[in-house]
Structure 1
Amino acid sequence: MGNGVESGVDDEQRVNLGVLLFVPYRYTEDRMFRALQEAGFDDWTLAQCRVFQRVAPEGSRLTDLADQAQMTKQSAGVIVDQLERLGYVRRVPDPSDGRARLIVIEERGRRAVVVAAAALDEILAEWKAYLGTRNFTLLHQILDQLREITDPYAR
């Protein structure tokens, strides 16, 4: 345990690092979801968005989406069915395996991606202005480095 000399805060007074990582994620997710709703994408739930955001640009198999979303294949299938009915995704044959199907993003989904990306750009610009370019870049580099040992889906 450190003595808090560098930060001027005792270890007992520090907020848990897991919480410090989670709070900005939740804030970002909430802002992006709100931006989507305000842009007319108000027919889906946050749970559906969480699965949708994992669909790869080239398409994803249901088993991969379920694994990444940490849910059963059946639960992911229900959500993908809902997203398909809403026009955000569709299932197509997987060219690499005729027995499998890929979930791909439809035009409505691509429009939602543009809105979400713009909201994220706005959030990141605010954080960069608040932290300063140097600290913002350092934060990004550190989190990217940490991802190497924490994200089984990092490419």
Structure 2
Amino acid sequence: MKPVSHCHLQPLETIPTGRLVLNLMRAFEKHLIRQLERMGVDNLTFSDINLLRQIPSSGIRISQLAQEAMISKQAVAKNITSLQERGYLQVSEDPKDARARIVTFSAHGRKLLKQAVTVISSIDESYSACLGADRYRALRADLDVLVKFLQSQGEGESHEQQ
């Protein structure tokens, strides 16, 4: 009997690898949001997660954030406003260019990051337990090889790991 994807009820080998990775990412984000909700964070969306993971601790220009998140500057501005109103982000003038704005985490946002790191660590541990430590390490190594391969082909973006 051939392996069947639980998500699509179709033979696993017929599902493109990119789709499997996307399904994993979506399941990961759902789990992350659910766990954060259990910790008292009840107002995050998938769009918020997509944006927040692109912001380095040193901050980022709004235009660069739009590039990293692969969404329009208008969508980024709307999300930033929402996250700012909820206390996660702050926006300030770029000291190098008064026309540009820098997005950074507020104290509340840094607390959220610490909570997220704890949850992500727990998720990673559960993946390792599910697959076994050796298979999990191999999976991570193989995914890294594929990302580097795509980047070398000009197909992948070189984003800083969050």
Superposition TM-score, scaled by structure 1 size? 0.84
Q: Tell me how far 1:145 sits from its aligned partner.
A: 2.1
Q: Is the 8 A contact 2:92 2:103 kept in 1?
A: yes
What is aligned with 2:138?
A: 138
One-letter amino acid of the structure 1 residue matched with residue 64 of structure 2: D
Structure 1: runs of 5 or more not aligned: 1-7
Measured in 2, the distance between the counterparts of 1:132 and 1:48 equals 32
Please state if 1:59 is matched with 2:59.
Answer: yes
Deviation digits for residues 49-99 of structure 1, max 9, x if unmatched? 221221111101111111222221111101101111111000122233333
One-letter amino acid of the structure 1 residue matched with residue 99 of structure 2: R
What is aligned with 1:50?
A: 50
Deviation digits for residues 30-57 of structure 1, max 9, x if unmatched? 0111122222221332212221221111
* 1:152 aligned to which of 143, 146, 157: 157
Alignment: residue pair count: 146
Structure 2: runs of 5 or more not aligned: 4-9
Measured in 1, the distance between the counterparts of 2:58 and 2:147 equals 22
Query: 2:60 is paired with a residue of what secondary structure?
Result: coil
Measured in 2, the distance between the counterparts of 1:154 and 1:42 equals 28
What is aligned with 1:105?
A: 105
Q: Is the 8 A contact 1:147 1:154 kept in 2?
A: no
Identity %: 25
Q: Specify the structure having the higher radius of gyration (Cα).
A: 1
Measured at CA, do residues 57 and 131 of structure 1 come closer, stay the same or move farther in structure 2, by a change above 3 Å?
Answer: same
Query: 1:111 is paired with a residue of what secondary structure?
Result: helix
Q: Is the 8 A contact 1:62 1:102 kept in 2?
A: yes
Measured in 1, the distance between the counterparts of 2:132 and 2:29 equals 22
Please state if 1:90 is matched with 2:90.
Answer: yes
One-letter amino acid of the structure 1 residue matched with residue 134 of structure 2: R
Measured in 1, the distance between the counterparts of 2:156 and 2:30 equals 22
Greater shift after overlay, 84-93 or 18-27? 18-27
